[in-house]
Amino acid sequence: MTNQAANDRQKQETSAMVGPPLWLLAELTYDCPLHCPYCSNPTQLSETKNELTTEQWFQVFNQARDLGAVQLGFSGGEPLLRKDLEALVKYSRDLGFYTNLITSGIGLTEKRIGKLKEAGLDHIQISFQGADPELNDAIAGRGNAYQQKFDMAKSVKAQGYPMVLNFVLSKQNLEQITDIMRLSCELEADYVELATAQYYGWAYENRDHLLPSREQLVEAERLVNEFREQQQGKGPHFIFVTPDYFETRPKACMNGWGSTFLTVTPDGSALPCHSAKMLPLTFPNVKDKSIGDIWQQDFSFDYFRGDDWMPQPCKGCDEKEKDFGGCRCQAFMMTGDMHKTDPVCSKSEDHHLIQAAIDSAIEPSTPILKRVNQKAMQHAKNTQLSIARTKV
């Protein structure tokens, strides 16, 4: 057998083994009008001038769709800052993608909601930071953000879209959970994600200010269940996501590395999850390689597939097919070794780090950082957020 033939056979075997990247997350820009301290974007600023062009995104969509990608999320940063968003939506919708816009709502207008609908946008997800203007705008670091989100959510429903609301919960806003659910009903959301912050990017830096106590979480979950009972099958579907820090088994991060999710960052880096850039691996760029080559052949995408890479206790664990050893980024952030068992697992020798984080969050010793954006940077004199002024 020639080398070429052997390579071809190996390629075929790999592609037969790996399913399609069903979920493509297109992070169009890291620029954002908000400054949320729970943001999972990288804390290192990136230049907007390196962003992919419209044509380059078209190519990404084409190649990913050919592989069988079907869900496409437009995210960021704030995707509305891209003036070609309507063109990107139309192009991808024509390819057969189900198109999701994941937005802060800042920069939306009734007219733009209509234009996006004409372009074929299927669904809009709006994030909220709190249930009232005072807390919402303090967390978001922008005045009038709440009112804008409220008005746009009304318009999204009036214009016939399915709508998801996303509340990132932390100890800053957890006490508002019942008001948050009432607001969701008023806005006629279809699905509501009550998602406790995950600690990546800015949120990792601010973890002490965000991570709730176990008691706060138990109470919040009780309130959610009570509210669901009263709904009697009507109104929004509430999805309550507890932080993995209070679990004894890790989450099945990204449904398994390189199994379902593909993120393309503003500058064209292709990642198996939106946080993976922090890992000491070299990730490919869509400017240099096709999506097919990236998904099926690239070293970094293959690196944590299967269980060959696993250390103990993962390798001998009968739950390894369920959680795939947990989150590689979390293992790396907390232990410095991306191969280790996710410290969330009670079988991990590093599990004590999780308890230490929970304890440390009881009394934060450093001030909270507000997310700094490239454009805002020139004007920002004080990057600390005075959350103390709000009623938390």
Under the rule (CB under 8 A), what is the footprint of other proteins?
A: 20, 22-23, 67-68, 70-71, 73, 96, 98, 100, 122-123, 125, 160, 162, 164, 190-191, 228-229, 232-233
Q: Which is nearer to other proteins, 156 or 278 (CB)?
A: 156
The torsion of the CA quartet 63, 56, 74, 108, rounded to 10 degrees, works out to: -150
User: Smaller CB distance to other proteins: residue 23 or 199?
Assistant: 23
Q: What phi and psi, each to the nearest 5 degrees, are found at residue 29?
A: -155, 150
CB-nearer residue toward other proteins: 160 or 316: 160
Q: According to the annotation, is 36 in a ligand binding site?
A: yes
- 173 and 129 Cβ atoms separated by less than 8 Å: yes
Q: Determine if residue 32 is labeled as part of a ligand binding site.
A: yes
Shortest distance, position 57 Cβ to other proteins, whole Å: 20
Least distance in Å: CB of 329 to other proteins?
21
Least distance in angstroms from the C-beta of 294 to other proteins? 17
Query: What CA–CA distance (Å, rounded) separates 33 from 142?
Result: 8
Q: Which two tokens stand for residue 187?
A: 């806005």
The amino acid occupying position 43 is: T
As measured in angstroms, the least distance from the Cβ of 124 to other proteins is: 9
Looking at the Cβ atoms of 70 and 87, the one nearer to other proteins is: 70
CA distance linking residue 130 with residue 183, whole number of Å: 10
Residue 317 labeled ligand binder:
no
- Shortest distance, position 156 Cβ to other proteins, whole Å: 12
Residue number, 31 or 193, with CB nearest to other proteins? 193
Least distance CB 244 / other proteins (angstroms): 20
Structural contact between residues 338 and 279, judged by C-beta atoms closer than 8 angstroms: yes
The minimum distance between CB 268 and other proteins, in angstroms, equals: 23
DSSP letters for 119-159: HT--EEEEEES-SSHHHHHHHHTSTTHHHHHHHHHHHHHHT
Helix-strand-coil percent breakdown of the chain, rounded to 5? 40, 15, 45
Classify 263 as helix, strand or coil.
strand
Amino acid making up residue 279: L
Long-range pairs for 297-305: beta carbons < 8 A, 24 or more residues apart: 297/11, 297/14, 298/270, 300/272, 301/257, 301/258, 301/270, 301/272, 302/14, 302/258, 303/257, 304/257, 304/258, 304/272, 304/328, 305/18, 305/256, 305/257, 305/258, 305/259
Contact 370, 383 (CB under 8 A): yes
Q: With respect to other proteins, which residue has the nearer C-beta, 228 or 351?
A: 228
Q: Which is nearer to other proteins, 25 or 387 (CB)?
A: 25
Q: Tell me, what DSSP letter sits at residue 269? A: B
Evaluate whether 149 touches 125 at the Cβ level (below 8 Å).
no
- State which residue, 163 or 333, has the beta carbon closest to other proteins: 163
* Contact between 201 and 41 (Cβ < 8 Å): yes
Least Cβ distance, residue 93 to other proteins (angstroms): 10
Q: Is the CB of 228 or the CB of 249 nearer to other proteins?
A: 228
Q: Compute the distance between CA of residue 111 and CA of residue 391 in angstroms, rounded to an integer.
A: 35
**Helix (H, G, I), strand (E, B), or coil: what is residue 52?**
coil
Q: DSSP of 314-348, one letter per residue? A: TTT-TTHHHHTTS-HHHHHHHHS-TTSPPTTSTTS
Q: Which residues are annotated as a binding site for [4Fe-4S] cluster?
A: 32, 36, 39
Residue ranges for the known binding site are 32, 36, 39
